[in-house]
Amino acid sequence: MNIPQSSNPRFVIIGGGFGGIALAKKLRDKEAQVVLLDKHNYHNFQPLLYQVSTGGLEPDSIAYPIRKVLQGYPNFYFRLANVVEIDTVKKKVFTNIGDINYDYLIVATGSQTNYFGNKGIEAMGMAMKTIPQSLNLRSLILENFEQALLTDDLHARDALMNFVIVGGGPTGVELAGALAEIKKGILPKDYPDLDTRRAQINLIQAGDRLLPAMSEVASRKAERFLEGLGVNVWKNIRVSDYDGLHVTTDTDVSFDTATLVWAAGVSAVSIKGLDAKEFLCRGNRLKVNQFHQVEGFKNIFAIGDVAQMESEDFPNGHPMMAQPAIQQGRSLGENLVRLIDGKPMKPFVYRDKGSMATVGRNKAVVDLPKIKFQGVFAWFVWMFVHLYFLIGFRNRVVVFINWVYNYVRFDREARLIIRPFKKQNQVERNKLMQD
Ligand SMILES: Cc1cc2nc3c(=O)[nH]c(=O)nc-3n(C[C@H](O)[C@H](O)[C@H](O)COP(=O)(O)OP(=O)(O)OC[C@H]3O[C@@H](n4cnc5c(N)ncnc54)[C@H](O)[C@@H]3O)c2cc1C
């Protein structure tokens, strides 16, 4: 990998996501050599992926070059590398561009879409975890409408304009809201010769309420907002299969659709060599102690979605969200500095700053530790928080300007088919693209 030997200890970080970047920032100018490996050369701000999928934002406004984050960090090396294996005995990481030894290893690989073993949905459904996947979804949505114009078969046309989103968490809710706004505000103008009133947005939730990780009042309000926008909310229904057209469920409800978006679960990205049963908890997360050390190791740490730190307050680990990843990255960074200085590490304490989701224009739900609110003010809070946590001044300005423009003009101008999407087996496609 062409990384010089150093008299300082070498920290290898796998993953430049929320956790990896927060950690890296803490190690700047310290007596350590830091090597950051990521299979993408950019940080992906996942909370706004749904806006890329629905033409509200261009992908480059939610991605940020990792090399730019590390500019001016003298002790840092970034390598664009896909990590495939870890040898914990030889203290070595194997990647598609070569291998590298570590003194300390930090796993911050995040999570991936979990299909719970359903091969049909994995092959024919759409995921929204990466920027390429979001662009695929954007193209598919737009191509469906172009195709709907061309067919005289009413059933086929309805299927092209029927969207099924599986999973009533923030991703599903936000995507359903955005599609409903497109149906109302954009489709009739873009496709005057198509009866776009027949377009359907179906949001399917296996449990008895949307946003199950938020308060009951947030769930109720989000559902009301969505229904107001014309979204069909289906609860207590499990999708069981999808063949590219027909969606079956565990009830007698079924759908015909050209687009099924799977937002119903994630599991941690584990890496060979550190994927034995004794290290892993539910959802493939690595079991860590209160210092983020992976069970059984003093020199291997895990943070973010991939780490499970069990405590009385969080028996299943912290939520797989950006805030825990950022806080864990910062805390581990400070602990690694203490380690270099020969001082004892401090246990991690998670400060819950709340959670939020937006449903659409002027509509969001916010649960803060002491107060819960919904509606217009919540929507402004949601926007402010997302702008604040976006990485990069340019990205913040571009996103802000886009939002103001979209708000004033009731528009989403990034509805472009830049990369035509041909629906095919997604398993093969993802393998080719290494998503
Ligand atoms: C659509 C969507 C919406 C979301 N909305 C919200 C929200 O509104 N609020 C919120 O708090 N959270 C939200 N989340 C969750 C949040 O994005 C994650 O919890 C957060 O990104 C976790 O941070 P992380 O550092 O653990 O992993 P990530 O940010 O996912 O970073 C992992 C990094 O590891 C790299 N990587 C993975 N495997 C390898 C490998 N083998 N080799 C090299 N590099 C590798 C990846 O390329 C990536 O850069 C959302 C997630 C999604 C998908």
Cα-to-chain-centroid distance, residue 166: 15
pLDDT digits (tens, 9 = 90+) for 347-381: 999 999 999 999 999 999 999 999 999 999 999 99
Alpha-carbon distance of 25 to 250, in angstroms, equals 47
- pLDDT band for position 425 (cuts 50, 70, 90): low
* End-to-end CA, the chain: 22
Rounded to the nearest angstrom, the gap between the alpha carbon of residue 190 and the centroid of all alpha carbons in its chain is: 30
Residue 10, ligand 1, Cβ within 6 A: no
pLDDT above 60 for 435:
no
Please state which CATH class domain 119-264+361-430 belongs to.
alpha beta
Closest residue to atom 15 of ligand 1, CA basis? 321
pTM of the model: 0.95
The predicted pLDDT at position 279 comes to: 85
- In this structure, what token pair is assigned to residue 429? 């496609």
Q: In what order do the strands lie in the sheet with 259-262?
A: 232-235, 200-205, 162-166, 259-262
| Spatial CA neighbour of 202 closest among 180, 169, 225, 224 | 180
- Annotated active-site residue in 58, 122, 143, 174: 174
pLDDT at 411: 87
Please tell me if the domain spanning 10-39+81-113+267-341 has the same topology as the one spanning 119-264+361-430: yes
The whole-chain average pLDDT of the chain stands at: 94
**Tens digits of residue pLDDT in 192-250:** 999 999 999 999 999 999 999 999 999 999 999 999 999 999 999 999 999 999 999 99
324 CB within 6 A, ligand 1: no
Q: Residues 6 or more apart from 70 whose CB is under 8 A from it?
A: 24, 36, 76, 78
With H, G, I as helix, E, B as strand and everything else as coil, classify residue 408: helix
> Is the separation of the CB atoms in 403 and 383 below 8 Å?
yes
Residues 345/166, Cβ–Cβ less than 8 Å: no
Q: In sequence order, which ranges of 288-392 are alpha helices (DSSP H)?
A: 322-340, 376-389
> What number is the average pLDDT over the span 424-434?
61
CATH, domain 10-39+81-113+267-341, list 3.50.50.60, 3.40.50.720, 3.40.50.300, 1.20.1270.360: 3.50.50.60
**pLDDT by residue (tens digit) across 67-94?**
999 998 989 999 999 999 999 999 999 9
CA-nearest residue for atom 17, ligand 1, is: 46
Percentage of residues of the chain with pLDDT beyond 70: 97
Q: Which residues pair with 360 in a beta bridge?
A: 363
Instruction: Categorize the per-residue pLDDT at 431 as very low, low, confident or very high, splitting at 50, 70 and 90.
Output: low
Q: What is the pLDDT of residues 383-395, one digit of tens each?
A: 999 999 998 899 9
In the block, tokens 């086929």 appear at 156
Q: Quick one: pLDDT at residue 52?
A: 97
Task: Decide whether any atom of ligand 1 lies within 6 Å of the 167 Cβ.
Answer: no
Query: Confidence band (pLDDT; 50, 70, 90) for 426?
Result: low
The verdict on whether 58 is a catalytic residue reads no
Which of the listed residues 13, 25, 38 should we mutate to test ligand 1's pocket, taking the one with most ligand atoms within 8 A of CB? 38
- Listed by start position, the domains of the chain span 10-39+81-113+267-341, 119-264+361-430
- pLDDT at residue number 167: 98
Check residue 429 and give its pLDDT. 59
Q: Is the CB of 19 under 6 A from ligand 1?
A: yes
Mean pLDDT of 15-29: 95
Integer angstrom CA distances of residue 41 from 79, 105, 202: 8, 20, 35
Radius of gyration of the chain (CA): 22
The helix (run of H) or strand (run of E) holding residue 84 is strand 83-87
User: How far from 423 is each of 74, 134, 185, 199, 264, CA to CA, in Å?
Assistant: 45, 14, 27, 20, 20
What's the pLDDT tens digit per position in 39-70? 999 999 999 999 999 999 999 999 999 999 99
Predicted confidence band at 434 (pLDDT cuts at 50, 70, 90)? low
Q: Determine contact, residues 224/83, Cβ cutoff 8 Å.
A: no
Is there an atom of ligand 1 within 6 Å of 285 CB? no
